[in-house]
Amino acid sequence: MQSKPLPKWLDRLGDWNPQLLRELKGRMNDRSFLVTIGLSLIGQLIFLMFWFNQISNYPMPCSATNCPTNWESWFRAVFQNLNWLMPYIIYLPGIYYLTTDLMGEERRGTLNFLRLSPRSSQNILLGKLLGVPVALYFAVLLLLPLHVIVGIKAQAPIVFFLSYYAILIGSTIFLFTLSLLIGLSGRSSQDNKNTGGVIYILGLLFAVAMGFIPLVQNLGVYTFWNFAPQFIIDNRYGNGFQNSMTWFWMILSQHPILSHSLFLGNLAIMTTLFWQMTQRAFQNPNANFLVKRQSYFLIPYFTILMIGFVCRVPFNDESIQELSGEILVIGGLFSLSVMTPIIMALSTSRQTTLDWINSRSDHAWNDRIWGDRSPGTTAIAINILMMIGILTVPVLFNTKPNLITPQNFALVLLIQGSLCMIYSLLFQGMLLVKSPKRKTWANLLLFGAIGLPLLLSIIFGFGTSKPTFLLKAILLMSPLTAPFTLGSWDGLPPPILLMDACIVLGFQAAIIGFLYLRLRSQLRKLERS
Amino acid sequence: MLLRTVALTKQFDRHLAIDAVNLEIRQGEVYGLIGPNGAGKTTLLRLLALADEPTSGSIFLGDDRLRYGANAPQQKRRLGFLPDDYPLYDDLTVRDYLDYVARLYRLKNPERSHRIQEVLALVQLESKQGALINTLSRGMRQRLSLAQSVLHQPSLLLMDEPVSGLDPLARSQFRTIVKQLQAEGMTIVISSHILSDLEDFCSSVGIMEQGRLVESAVLSELYDRLSCQHLIISVVSNVERLAQFLGRHSSISQIENGPQPNTLRALFTGTTLERSELLRSAIALEIPITDFHVTQENLESIFLKMDYQRTA
């Protein structure tokens, strides 16, 4: 039995991207395709019916009892709600389709078959990205006329549409790429990968990314969507761009082009990064998704981005003086929210380390800095130095330090860096032990090392007017609480003495030395095994 | 040499699954990979198919070095792999599936349609081309998988336990297909537990144990070297004279009475030429031979004996 010949355009599309054709053929004949389109139309109908019932709430200002409807106001309300709904409709089913599709391919064993085909990973993943949510794309296309008509009636300017669609498309590409990565990392039983770390980093990034969805907009809680710059153009259609938001002393709400460039630029950077990680996860499912050379870009990028947001207006001596303290707080947040997942992502499993030992070249240092299979500690040390270096730069402009002296600033920053190094050595070392539960132990140890000082600080640290040295030392054992030992904030313990901080730093250096020697001995043992 | 591995090693934590394997396979050869469960056959095939990353060592296909994870379409196009679990897309029809695979391998029409028809005929699934894959029997799924792996006419076809779980008829069909591919000049590496099947079409075999390739040879050479032959000779009368004659021959040992009267059974360790010389001498001495029969140990016996030797 011969199947029906394909239309020429579809045949050509299939020659260019067989994966896309396979997805289209599999899904466009599917009943679920018709159901999705039906649901889109029925959804629009229900939405409009709901809003028609609300017409009486939008009267023109008049003294009579039956005032005529204020259509512009009604259309504005409908448009505002459509603006919030559109991301929901795209993101949630799309993320679900993509992650479950790839997990299903992995379970069936067909993903390996795709890996062995001569098509590039880019070609196959692009086919997935465009093909798997195809029914959804159609559903959204059917929704667009309603959005445009309502927007025109609400007198939304064309630039608002351009801005809105650019950000919607950008964030959709970003989230869908991330979904592919999550789908590819679905094999949680994989031994040759630090799954805990990967899930943690993905979970964290996913949580951030999901912030694009304005889940709690009516409660006034800020989400990332609040920062979407289309609302600079016309704030009537959203719940507000943050007027006070600055980046390197520039008020973003006053610079629509800058804010759009920043938003879309960051989306593009993060999408590129995830796209590279996704391709790598596809080509080599055993490898760490994040490679060292990516981390050398990621750390300076995130550090500069975060510093930008604390450089607030007005640009004067006072704001520069406050910068030191805020940068240390950023250092603390950064150590836990960015550096820790990167430590987990770059640390190599016992198997990968063994493979590295068996095949390492003579250029050991080159290998440790750039090699994908070498232990992650050298790369983490480089990243820490970059973080400290970049965080120090803005403080150099502070010519009149008053609250935080340069020595104290440097000490606290060094303490934050040394704590990250301790986390890295602890985690990497634990991943190399013989125990079959090494990954669990490594995760527990890392979270213990991060969480315990925090917990003790909360229990004993605050509200004490005369803290003991031990208490100060506990505060200095967490990157997050370390800045508070400087005592530049109201209601906190008096500033720590320089000597005390030096003692703590010396103690941390001794721990680093011990853990480093232990790691070396573990590597030698592995070499002999 | 079409395929060559140099100290190919795969280590899973403390378990050495493949231990410095040096394998050489000539163009057009059908190479059988045998060994007990856990010997490393599947791991070796997966490494050769670039489905797994070796811990160390290298693989050469012709002059090209194969690298796991590399975007090397030319090299991938020269490989065909049939894994033991035949992963297929159940929601596609047989023809749509092969069309999809052909497009992945950049086959364009009309060559694509022509090649699909060819492989459907090869695996005897022409009548099933419109059927959904989830309606096929295990044997048909296996043949469809085979069709997928040879659709792009690879230089090297790797098959992992292709006949396990198949009924005798499906096995026989499979043997016919492999012989046809062999006749077309395709180089094939096949792992199997069913040694009688391998014996039927392999030109060389490799024996694996605990990750090592302990034996790799042309099959006839392996028989000459490791297989024992028993001669069963019947005479009209005077069996003692036959025993004396055989006893003087250097290639003969362990002479014993045969299953019938006036019949002797002797272990022969010489070559085919020596065997023919032995028969000629016996006739020249006017020993009244009525029957001269040779039995040879098969691959299974050699394998079992080798295993026994190593265990001992």
Sorted by where each begins, the domain ranges of chain A are 310-529
DSSP letters, A334-371, are HIIIIIHHHHHHHSPPHHHHHHHHHH--S-HHHHHHH-
Q: Which residues 6+ apart lie within 8 Å of A214 measured at CB?
A: A84, A87, A223, A225, A226, A239
Q: Looking at the DSSP assignment, which residues form a beta bridge with residue B292? A: B233
Using CA of residue B212, residue B214, residue B216, residue B220, what is the dihedral sign?
A: negative
CB within 8 Å: A14 and B71: no
More confident residue, B79 or B286: B79
CB within 8 Å: A116 and B79: yes
CB within 8 Å: A15 and B103: yes
CB within 8 Å: B56 and A286: no
Question: What pLDDT, in 10s, does the model give residues A421-434?
Answer: 999 999 999 999 88
- pLDDT of A215 reads 38
Does residue A360 sit at the B interface (CB-CB below 8 Å)?
A: no
- pLDDT of B189 reads 94
Residues of A in contact with B71 (CB under 8 A): 120-121, 283
Largest Cα–Cα distance in chain B? 75
Question: What pLDDT, in 10s, does the model give residues A480-525?
Answer: 888 877 765 555 555 566 777 788 889 999 999 999 999 999 998 8
DSSP state of A316: S
Radius of gyration of chain A from its Cα atoms, rounded to whole angstroms? 27
Q: Is residue A222 scored above 50 in pLDDT?
A: no
Average pLDDT of the residues of chain A: 80
- pLDDT of A234 reads 60
Most confident of B13-27, B218-232, B244-258: B13-27
Residues of A in contact with B13 (CB under 8 A): 191, 350-351, 354
Q: Which helix (H) or strand (E) holds B94?
A: helix B94-104
CB within 8 Å: A354 and B106: no
First to last CA, chain A: 59
Calculate the dihedral angle through the C-alpha atoms of A471, A475, A478, A484, rounding to the nearest 10 degrees: 180
Task: List helix spans (H) across A185-255.
Answer: 195-210, 230-233
Q: Is residue B11 scored above 50 in pLDDT?
A: yes
Using CA of residue A261, residue A262, residue A264, residue A270, what is the dihedral sign?
A: positive
Cis before A87? omega within 30: no
- pLDDT of A121 reads 92
Q: What is the pTM of this model?
A: 0.82
Structure token pair of residue B141: 């799924």
CA distances for A255 relative to A246, A259, A260, A262, angstroms: 10, 6, 9, 10
Q: Contact, A324 vs A395, CB < 8 A?
A: yes
Share of chain B above pLDDT 90, in %: 29
Cis before A467? omega within 30: no
User: How many other β-carbons are positioned within 10 Å of the β-carbon of residue B114?
Assistant: 10
Residues of B in contact with A29 (CB under 8 A): none
State the span(s) of chain B assigned CATH 3.40.50.300. 3-217
Average pLDDT of the residues of chain B: 86
Say how far apart CA A225 and CA A209 lie, in whole Å. 10
Say how far apart CA A40 and CA A135 lie, in whole Å. 10
First to last CA, chain B: 35
Lowest mean pLDDT among A98-112, A215-229, A466-480, B187-201: A215-229
Question: What pLDDT, in 10s, does the model give residues A73-111?
Answer: 888 888 888 887 787 788 888 888 898 898 888 888 888
Residues of B in contact with A120 (CB under 8 A): 71, 73
Q: Is residue A211 scored above 50 in pLDDT?
A: no
Question: What pLDDT, in 10s, does the model give residues A168-184?
Answer: 898 899 889 988 988 88
- pLDDT of B190 reads 93
CB within 8 Å: B81 and A284: no
- pLDDT of A238 reads 56
- pLDDT of A425 reads 96
Does residue A284 sit at the B interface (CB-CB below 8 Å)?
A: yes
Structure token pair of residue B116: 């699909």
Say how far apart CA B236 and CA B118 lie, in whole Å. 58
Angle, helix A31-53 to helix A71-108, in steps of 10 degrees: 160
Say how far apart CA A158 and CA A337 lie, in whole Å. 38
Lowest mean pLDDT among A212-221, A240-249, B144-153: A212-221
Phi (first) and psi of residue B18, to 5 degrees: -130, 125
- pLDDT of B151 reads 93
Band of pLDDT at residue A443, cut at 50, 70 and 90: confident
Phi (first) and psi of residue A116, to 5 degrees: -85, -10
Question: What pLDDT, in 10s, does the model give residues B95-111?
Answer: 999 999 999 999 988 89
Q: Looking at the DSSP assignment, which residues form a beta bridge with residue B160? A: B191
Residues of B in contact with A287 (CB under 8 A): 69
CB within 8 Å: B92 and A22: yes
Q: Which residues 6+ apart lie within 8 Å of B147 measured at CB?
A: B98, B119, B120, B122, B123, B125
Q: Is residue B225 scored above 90 in pLDDT?
A: no
CB within 8 Å: A355 and B12: no
Q: Which residues 6+ apart lie within 8 Å of B296 measured at CB?
A: B223, B227, B228, B229, B230
Phi (first) and psi of residue B236, to 5 degrees: -65, -45
Question: What pLDDT, in 10s, does the model give residues B143-162?
Answer: 999 999 999 999 999 999 88
Q: Are strands B263-268 and B212-218 parallel, antiparallel or unpaired?
A: unpaired
Q: How far is B189 from chain A (nearest CA, A)?
A: 17
Structure token pair of residue A422: 């301790």
Mutate to test the interface with A, among B53, B68, B108, B120 (most CBs of A within 10 A): B53
CA distances for A122 relative to A239, A281, A283, B107, angstroms: 38, 12, 10, 19
Tell me, rounded to whole angstroms, the distance of Cα B178 from its chain centroid.
10
Band of pLDDT at residue B261, cut at 50, 70 and 90: confident
- In this structure, which long-range contacts are made by residues B133-138, counting pairs with CB atoms below 8 Å and at least 24 apart in sequence? B133/B88, B133/B89, B133/B90, B133/B91, B133/B92, B133/B93, B133/B94, B133/B97, B134/B90, B134/B91, B136/B94, B138/B165, B138/B166, B138/B170
Q: Once rounded to an integer, what is the mean pLDDT over residues A307-313?
A: 80
State the span(s) of chain B assigned CATH 3.30.70.260. 228-296
More confident residue, A13 or A206: A13
CB within 8 Å: A11 and B109: yes
More confident residue, B13 or A431: A431
- pLDDT of A192 reads 46
CB within 8 Å: B105 and A11: no
Q: Is residue A467 scored above 70 in pLDDT?
A: no
Residues of B in contact with A117 (CB under 8 A): 76, 101, 104-105
Q: Once rounded to an integer, what is the mean pLDDT over residues A203-231?
A: 49
Band of pLDDT at residue B59, cut at 50, 70 and 90: very high
Radius of gyration of chain B from its Cα atoms, rounded to whole angstroms? 24
Q: Contact, A51 vs A85, CB < 8 A?
A: no
Does residue A126 sit at the B interface (CB-CB below 8 Å)?
A: no
Structure token pair of residue A354: 């063994």
CB within 8 Å: A1 and B130: yes
Phi (first) and psi of residue A14, to 5 degrees: -65, -35
Lowest mean pLDDT among A46-55, A180-189, A205-214, A232-241: A205-214
Q: Which residues 6+ apart lie within 8 Å of A57 measured at CB?
A: none
Q: How far is B131 from chain A (nearest CA, A)?
A: 9
Q: How far is B295 from chain A (nearest CA, A)?
A: 44
Considering CB atoms only, which of B50, B53, B87 is closest to A113? Answer: B87
Beta strands per DSSP E along A238-353:
246-247, 250-251
Q: Which residues 6+ apart lie within 8 Å of B207 measured at CB?
A: B34, B35, B213, B214, B215, B216, B303, B306
Q: Looking at the DSSP assignment, which residues form a beta bridge with residue A59? A: A69
- pLDDT of A250 reads 84
User: How many other β-carbons are positioned within 10 Å of the β-carbon of residue A392?
Assistant: 16
- pLDDT of B156 reads 94
Domain B3-217 top-level CATH class: alpha beta
Say how far apart CA A39 and CA A46 lie, in whole Å. 10
Question: What pLDDT, in 10s, does the model give residues A184-195?
Answer: 876 544 444 555
Question: What pLDDT, in 10s, does the model give residues A445-463?
Answer: 998 999 898 888 877 766 5
A496 three-class SS: coil
Q: Once rounded to an integer, what is the mean pLDDT over residues B160-174?
A: 83
CA distances for B35 relative to A27, A311, B193, B210, B300, angstroms: 44, 68, 8, 9, 10
User: How many other β-carbons are positioned within 10 Å of the β-carbon of residue A212?
Assistant: 21
Q: Which CATH superfamily is domain B228-296 in?
A: ACT domain (3.30.70.260)
Does residue A218 sit at the B interface (CB-CB below 8 Å)?
A: no
The one-letter amino acid code at B164 reads S
